[in-house]
Amino acid sequence: MSDQGARDRHEQARRDEIDEARREFLRNIAAASVVSLGGGMMLYSMGGEAQAKKPGEPLDPKKRWGMLIDTSKCTSGCDKCVEACKKENGWEAEPGSETDVQWIRKVDVKDPLTGFMASLPVMCQHCANPPCVDVCPTGASMRREDGIVRVNMHTCIGCRYCMMACPYKARSFVHEDIPEEKKRFHAPMGKGCVTSCDFCAHRIDVGRIPACAEACPEGAMLFGDMNDPNSELRKRLKEIRSYQIRADLGTDNGIRYTRLP
């Protein structure tokens, strides 16, 4: 075991070295904060050191990940975010399929009287009070301390009560076997379990932003820490009025939109 311990220490030292270099680097960026960044690119990393999470570290419960979607930039017919999610997380869905897995979809909303229209992506809303978590008999439907709502497929028994409870139709049941070649390593899902958007937890855990936000050509999806008053997201949220879908339900969604019809 001592041998193992020594190895671990060595390992740790090496990691610390890298971390130190990284911190130094980020400090430099912070110093250069005058630099203004366009689009959604690397916003999360630009938020500074306080936000970065290293792969081997546990998550920070003080954070609450969230997103602001600028619906004025989002156009009907564009589904780059959906395509990016499919590619990242390995699901395929025929449009209009009743049984295919869907993590994120584009919804076109229209006011029947005024004709006001908006197009927006809808995925798991990462609620602060998620009904899916409340109803799950085994606790497989869970909310991570940093606000990510996801399914722990190790304890999901496939009862689908969470799908009954979710107001946003964010969850899908895997109706058939997923062939090996279609699976993605970081997004395990399999027949008989419920699955849903996990905010690309595997990316967030290594300090990257969700695939949809990264892919949006308009930079309409701003990802960040809602609890950090200095984050880009919070600053933006302070400036403009934002909306949550079905805010009346009191679920307190982590996904907010700039304009809802």
C-beta of residue 258 within 8 angstroms of C-beta of residue 72: yes
The interface region with another protein, picked from 67-75, 107-115, 215-223, 231-239 by CB under 8 A, is 107-115
What are the DSSP calls for 116-151, one per residue? -EEEEEEE----SS-HHHHH-SSS-EEE-TTS-EEE
- Contacts (CB under 8 A) with another protein, residues 242-261: 245-246, 249, 260-261
Q: Are 108 and 119 in contact (CB under 8 A)?
A: yes
Site for another protein in 48-67 (CB under 8 A): 53, 55-59
| Ordered DSSP codes for 92-123 | ---TT-SSS--SEEEEEEE-TTT--EEEEEEE
Kindly state whether residue 213 participates in binding another protein, applying the rule CB under 8 A: no
CA 208 to chain centre: 11
Measure the CA angle with vertex 243, ends 242 and 246; round to 5°: 170
| Minimal distance, residue 177 CB to another protein, in Å | 6
Q: List Cβ neighbours of 34 (8 Å cut-off, separation of 6 or more).
A: none
Please say whether the beta carbons of 52 and 45 come within 8 A: yes
Side chain identity at residue 148, one-letter code: I
Q: Decide: is 166 part of the binding site for another protein (CB under 8 A).
A: yes
| CB-nearer residue toward another protein: 207 or 219 | 207
Is 99 one of the binding residues for another protein (CB under 8 A)?
yes
For 164, residues 6+ apart whose C-beta sits below 8 A from its C-beta are 135
Q: Which amino acid is at 197?
A: C
CB of 223 to another protein, least distance (A): 15
> 3-class DSSP state for residue 184?
strand
189 near another protein, rule: CB under 8 A: yes
Q: Which of 5, 77, 112, 229 binds another protein (CB under 8 A)?
A: 112
The tokens for 182 are 């279609």
Interaction of residue 215 with another protein, rule CB under 8 A? no
Report, in Å, the least distance between residue 103 CB and another protein: 10
Q: Is 152 in the site for another protein (CB under 8 A)?
A: yes
> Cα(119)–Cα(229) distance, rounded to whole angstroms?
29
Choose one: 67-75, 133-141, 217-225, 229-237; the region binding another protein (CB under 8 A).
Answer: 133-141
Of the candidate spans 67-75, 92-100, 216-224, 226-234, the one that interacts with another protein by CB under 8 A turns out to be: 92-100
Query: Which residue number, 122 or 237, has a Cβ lying nearer to another protein?
Result: 122
Decide if residue 232 touches another protein (CB under 8 A): no
- Answer yes or no whether residue 6 interacts with another protein by CB under 8 A: no
| Least gap, CB of 43 to another protein (angstroms) | 11
Instruction: Return the number of the residue (156 or 220) whose C-beta is nearest another protein.
Output: 156
